[in-house]
Structure formats: structure tokens, C-alpha cells
Amino acid sequence: MTAKFQRDPLLDFTDKVVLITGAASGFGALLAEELGRRGASLVLGDINETPLDTLVEKLGGNGVSVAAIRCDVTSETDCGAMVALAREQFGCLDVAVNNAGIAPPMFYFEEVDEQTFDQQINVNVKGVFFGMKHQLKLMREQGTGTILNVSSMAGLGGAPKVAPYSAAKHSVIGLTRTAAVEYARHNVRVNAICPFYTLTPMLTDMPGSPEQIEQTHAIFAAGTPMKRLAEPEEIVSAMVMLCSPALSYVTGQAMAVDGGVSAF
């Protein structure tokens, strides 16, 4: 049986079908658990099958309806298969969250090689584009739908030492806004979320000794008015809000969740 949860009409996902890429860890896994508690049926994809299977077992044990598939977002075939699974398993797709992404290695601009640049574009841009392409087609046919793309504060401004990542995340916002304009008349909303540094595995498992990682985190935190990094749950709460069917007049937005950094 699912845990008892007080339904809030603003954030109720009962009978909604939600697709999440990069669902095996980080924001994706937390969002899957949160939306499952709120009544959603889930279609989950990730390139890492073992943690994905573990998450599916956990969700299923809590009474959540869930389907899962291995998805390498650099493959359009895989992205299309996720959407097809949603249609086959649940008959529709109400919400899609393009969350899969990779962290940036830190180099000065002139030190970046072509392979590093291409990897960022392939995962962080093509992965979003391929997902959206198939999600938008189904949502247009349905006459309704919501897409949330995970960008970054690096997509809203300059990001020293992560130029390819910044280029990729700016592209995600461009794709978001373009799709929002194209598909608004079909009752399809498309938004992006732009987190600042957050204590997900992408940041906590970065290379270096524990002392070096702690020092790096402290430097990042010092750049925020709140003087701390975000907890993953804080970003997921904003994601839930942006996915809510109740936010029916919000589209084409890139929402900063940044501890006040963008207020400077």
C-alpha cells in the first residue's frame, strides 16, 4: 500500500503519467519517489540499469505503478522507446522530465578538447532534444502535456571553467523556449529549471580527496547570498511545482533555483 499522503489540489498527480530520464539517482530518483507519493504512474529511464531496477522495486513495493527501460539519451531510438512505453503501458503521457545529464570537467576555455565538448553536447543537448521530439509529438496528438527540462544556472549566465557545459545548458533553455512557443496552441507547456550547485552525487562524488571536495563546496557556497549549497529535495520541490497541472498558464520559463545568486 502507498503511504498515506494528504492530497493538495495544486500538487496532486493522481492518474497522471510522468516520464523521467536519468531516473536512477539524484534529482530523477527523488522526483520519482515524490511524484509516486502524489499519485503519479511513472515511466523511468536511465543508462545505469542496476540502480534503476532497485528504484523500481522500491516504488513498486510502495504501490506505485511504474514501468522502466534502459535509456541512453544520446540515442534517439532509446528516447523514442521511452515515449512508446508510456503509450503502451499507460495510454498517454501527461508530464515528461528531461533530467538526464552529465557533470562538467573543469578546464579553462583554451584547454577544452573536442571530445569533452562533444560529450557535453551529445548528452546534455541531444539528450534533451531527442526526448522532446518524441514527447511533443505524443502530447500534440493528445492535445495536452507538460515538459520540464533540467538546465542549470550555467545556462543563464557565464560559468568559468565549464564552457562546454554552459553552452549545453544555454542550449537547453533555447530548446525549451522554442518548443513552448511552437506548442502552446496545442495546450503543451514547456519549462526549464536552473539549479545552482546542489548536493547530488554529481557534486558529492566529484574527483578529489574529501578535503579538496569540501573546500570546493565551500567556495561554491560562498558565492550565494544564503552561503550554502542546495539540498536535492529543495530542487525537487521546485520541479514538482513546475510539473503541476495547476500551473496551466506558465510556459517558456527558465526558473532559477539558486539561493539568490541571480539577484546580484
Spatial strand order in the sheet of 41-46: 66-70, 41-46, 17-21, 95-98, 145-150, 188-195, 254-257
Angle 101-177-105 (CA atoms, 0-180°, nearest 5)? 25
CA distances from 25 to 8, 56, 103, 141, 203 (A): 26, 12, 13, 31, 12
Catalytic entry in 165, 183, 197, 249: 165
In angstroms, the CA 95 to CA 139 distance is 9
CA distances from 253 to 140, 169, 175, 177, 184 (A): 19, 14, 11, 7, 13
Tell me whether residue 165 is one of the annotated catalytic residues. yes
Residues 6 or more apart whose Cβ sits within 8 Å of residue 6: none
In angstroms, the CA 233 to CA 182 distance is 32
CB contact at 8 A, 64 and 31: no
- Catalogue the active-site residues: 165
